[in-house]
Amino acid sequence: MQPRARLIVATGVLFIAFFFLASSPFADSGYPADYKPSKPAATGETNVLARFGSIVTYMNDKLNAAGGKDSPQCYRNCLTAGMNGVLTCIELKNTYAKSESCEQDGAQKLSVCDPKCQ
C-alpha cells in the first residue's frame, strides 16, 4: 500500500473511532447520557441512600415514559432486577464515597432495558 493510501485509511479509521466514542450512550462519567448522578452534600457526610434516590428517580422516569403500569411486564422485570443489584451493592459498600460504582452500574443496567422487550 502506498504512503498516501495508508494515510487516507488511517485518517478514516481515526475519524470513525472518534465518531463512535463521541456518540457513545454513556457519558464520560460512566453514567448513561440521560442520567442525573447523585451529588454529595455541600457539608458533612452524604448518606448512601442519596445514590439510591437518584437511581429510583431514573427508573421511575423510564417507567413512566414507557407507560407506567401499562408497560410490558418484561420491561418492569428488567428495571426491578437492576434496582435489586443496586440495593445489594450499596448495602455492601455502605458509604456514599465507596458506592459510586453501584450507582454507575445500576444506571447502565437500567439504561439497556428495552421498553418493547425485543
Amino acid at 89: C
Is the model's pLDDT at 93 over the cut of 80?
yes
Counting every residue written for the chain, the total comes to 118
Averaged pLDDT of the chain: 82
Average pLDDT over residues 86-111: 94
Express each pLDDT in 24-42 by its tens digit. 444 557 899 999 999 998 8
Supply the pLDDT for residue 6. Answer: 55
Share of the chain above pLDDT 70, in %: 77
Q: Where are the domains of the chain?
A: 3-111
Question: In 3-state terms, what secondary structure has residue 69?
Answer: helix
Phi, psi of 32 (to 5 degrees): -60, 150
In terms of pTM, does the model score above 0.85?
Answer: no
Say if residues 108 and 81 touch (Cβ distance below 8 Å).
no
Burial class from Cβ neighbours inside 10 Å (0-12, 13-18, 19+) for residue 10 reads: exposed
